Amino acid sequence: MADDDNFEPRERRQRRLRPRINMGALHPTTFRENFRLSVEVATALEDLISGTVAHDTGLNMALTPRQQLLVSLRFYATGAYLRLVGDGHGVSEATVCRAIHRVTDAIIHRCPGAITWPGDPAALGRLKEDFRQVAGLPDIVGCIDGTHVRLTVPREQREAYINRKGFPSLNVMAVAAPDRSIVALSVHCGGRVHDARVLATSGLPDYFRNGNPVMGAMMLGDSGYGLSPWLMTPIADPTTAEERAYNNAHARTRVVVENAFGVLKMRFGALEFGLRLKSVARCVAVIHTCFILHNMCIKGGDFGEWLGPLRQDEGMVQEPADGAAELPAAGAERRAGLVRRNDLVRLFVRH
């Protein structure tokens, strides 16, 4: 053992600071391709969350709100490993993780009304008219569907999240407007849960039944949902020209939600390729944030055409739901739904 008197402390290694991305140095097109939204939307986001995510200290080269936002947007855009995101921004994996958590929570906290149905009758009237212009169906205020987002879950929790294709996911339910914006969202169910059960536990049925502004209006859904007065599904085996015309109008109108999911997954690789975060709660928050950002892009006039040819989300094939098994008082609701659907079919009778 060396004599303590001869001990010489090693010289402390100088900390190396890697260069970080400067938003202002990127061409707007390059910025949009890398971060999947425009400079204008990113700037508005920065103004919105800066006070929430700013660090109280300037020590250790803490990331500015803008740098935290860019790191997070790059993660949402790619779904890449945190280390790879950090390498592209000159920060460590741990710093990326903290930035994503702070920015994600800040966006959700600062944008509570980003995903909501219009509350006033005039706005609802415009929504109904926009849907009616598609294929002639009246009183439609939204098109509903589910999409699966892959995630990593602990082995002991996998059973609750394994979907029909055999991988763990969250079954994300959304309702889309004609412009592909999202007016309702539910991210609380694992992949093994049927679409109809996701709807039944989402609070939307009560919203339509209990005198809210959308009372008397309808959504369109596929055969995975139960028929009700406020949710129209296609006719399983149409036998008349009028029924086939109704199914055609239903499909032409409902495709908006499939297109919305397609744009979302083309814009945000985290939704397309899956999330590798350590907790399901963090995955839920990131998914929620991506949907908020999608609506912000739509509001800013960015409908995603630049992403490439529009594709529909492949979704998950579901067996038709037994309404009585999925929805409270479904027998009475189904009968009332049949009456209302027959009224819609009669709209296509040729005189």
Pairing mode, strands 140-150 and 169-176 = antiparallel
pTM (two decimals): 0.88
| Average confidence score pLDDT of the chain | 88
For the ranges 31-45, 142-156, 239-253, 329-343, the lowest mean pLDDT is seen at 329-343
Overall average pLDDT of the 226-239 stretch: 95
Tell me the pLDDT tens digit for each residue of 6-64. Answer: 656 556 554 454 555 565 578 899 999 999 999 999 999 999 999 999 988 766 678 99
Tell me the pLDDT tens digit for each residue of 88-135. Answer: 888 999 999 999 999 999 999 999 999 998 888 899 999 999 999 999
Bigger pLDDT: 30 vs 216: 30
Tell me the pLDDT tens digit for each residue of 242-283. Answer: 999 999 999 999 999 999 999 999 999 999 999 999 899 999
147 beta partners:
172
State the Cα–Cα distance between residues 231 and 142, nearest whole angstrom. 10
